[in-house]
Amino acid sequence: MSLLVVSKPLSVDICVIIKLISIPIIWYLRANLSRGLEMYFYLNLGISRKEYWIIPFAVEFVAFTVLMVISSIIGFAIR
């Protein structure tokens, strides 16, 4: 995001909007996956402890990356 802002200063507002959109996703995942004994609900389904903790971050990273790529494509299209 920093590199994008450096290369295209006018894209700051786009980066902020993208980050704002990702907040509900992160909030939803963490609210549902990281509360106390709820971990055992997922362990009972055969998910490992490592997978349980990594999944929210992985999903956030993939979702944010996708949003950044889409916004870059839109930016180039606009230029």
Q: Which of 44, 77, 78, 79 binds other proteins (CB under 8 A)?
A: 44
* Nearer to other proteins among residue 53 and residue 61 (C-beta): 53
Q: Does residue 39 belong to the site contacting other proteins (CB under 8 A)?
A: yes
Q: Does residue 24 belong to the site contacting other proteins (CB under 8 A)?
A: no
- Three-class SS string for the chain? CHHHHHHCHHHHHHHHHHHHHHHHHHHHHHHHHCCCCHHHHHHCCCCCHHHHHHHHHHHHHHHHHHHHHHHHHHHHHHC
Q: Does residue 32 belong to the site contacting other proteins (CB under 8 A)?
A: yes
Q: Does residue 27 belong to the site contacting other proteins (CB under 8 A)?
A: no
Tokens of 54: 């990594």
- By CB under 8 A, name the binding residues for other proteins: 32, 35-50
